[in-house]
Amino acid sequence: MSRRRRLRTFAWPASAALVAALLVPAVAQAQTDGTATTETATSGTVTAELSYVTRTRGRGRFQFDEYRNFRVKITRAGQVLYDEPVGDPCEQFCTPTETALTRKHIALRDLNADGEGEAIVGLFTGGANCCVLVLAYGYDAAANTYRRARLDTGGGYVARDYGGDGVIELVGDDFRFRGLFTCGACGPRPIRIWHYGLRRFEVVTRDFPGKIRSHVRRLRRFYVRVRRRDEAAFVKGALTPIAADLCLLGRCGAGFRLVRAAIRRGELERRSAFDVSPLGTAYLRALKRFLRRTGYLGSDP
């Protein structure tokens, strides 16, 4: 072996060892650095805490805050009844966000008018159109503990009390329709309404036909507008949620007739950079399959 070859052979392990020695302290420091934060909400004898660790990453204009170790703790009359990490998806990435229910990261609010406030946590998983998480921790008196109900609202929601009875409706849209048959930003989605339950949020959209009809009227105006402008990419973005909303009202046939009329006018044959197959009658068949699979043609979606 030549002298140059011997030097190169032994230099690489030495360099690797040096790099490892330099990196290990930096990695250890990155894992330990961070600011611990605890946010607290109190009502009567109940105190709810949201804790997390914030670390600053990157440099200059690429600097950002990274949040880790989200945990919720609930104390009732001095006794800790819940103390658990949030878990997925916030083990990968989440940021605290104000909820439409409380305008805070954590707060107590009665969602079902039973006189007992739920601890409500808002988290955002990142992205331009996704995803706002609502975590609601409700008191289970029989077990003397707190249960978590989780709602992934997709692009967001608003809080309403339609009945004036103190039961809160969370109103958003059905995120399963995002980018269906067209681009993600090429149209709205069907209305979706939830009620809080001790273990999960229940979809109650069909209980509010008046709100569905109002939503359909807005969607029809959008459809007329994009037809006039000959914006082909948006036609399916309008027709799909109209058909879904009409199915919620028990009027699937009216929605399908609207689609057939659009097919006869050639509105579903034009391709654009954002238009995703299927087109024409193939679109109607695919739409029916999707509505059936998601419960719009059948049980509650």
Instruction: Please give the Cα distance from 297 to 289 (Å, whole number).
Output: 9
What is the model's pLDDT at position 187? 86
Question: What length does the chain have?
Answer: 301
**Residue 27 above 70 pLDDT?**
no
In this structure, is residue 194 part of a structural domain? yes
Q: Which two tokens stand for residue 226?
A: 């994009």
Instruction: Please give the Cα distance from 136 to 211 (Å, whole number).
Output: 25
Range of the domain at 281: 166-301
In this structure, is residue 295 part of a structural domain? yes
What is the model's pLDDT at position 175? 92
What rounded mean pLDDT belongs to the chain? 86
Q: What angle do CA 155, 256, 276 make, to 5 degrees?
A: 50
What is the model's pLDDT at position 12? 33
- List pLDDT tens digits, range 50-102: 999 999 888 888 888 899 999 999 999 999 999 999 999 898 889 999 999 99
Whether the CB-CB separation of 116 and 146 falls below 8 Å is answered with no
- List pLDDT tens digits, range 95-132: 999 999 999 999 999 999 999 999 999 999 986 556 88
In this structure, is residue 211 part of a structural domain? yes
Q: Kindly report the pTM of this predicted structure.
A: 0.84
In this structure, is residue 258 part of a structural domain? yes
In this structure, is residue 1 part of a structural domain? no
In this structure, is residue 187 part of a structural domain? yes
In this structure, is residue 252 part of a structural domain? yes
Whether the CB-CB separation of 49 and 108 falls below 8 Å is answered with no
In this structure, is residue 57 part of a structural domain? no
SS (H, E, C) 2-55: CHHHHHHHHHHHHHHHHHHHHHHHHHHHHHHCCEEEEEEEEECCEEEEEEEEEE
Q: Among the listed ranges 33-37, 133-137, 182-186, which one has the minimum average pLDDT value? A: 182-186
- List pLDDT tens digits, range 224-257: 999 888 777 789 999 999 999 999 999 999 999 9
Number of domains in the chain: 1
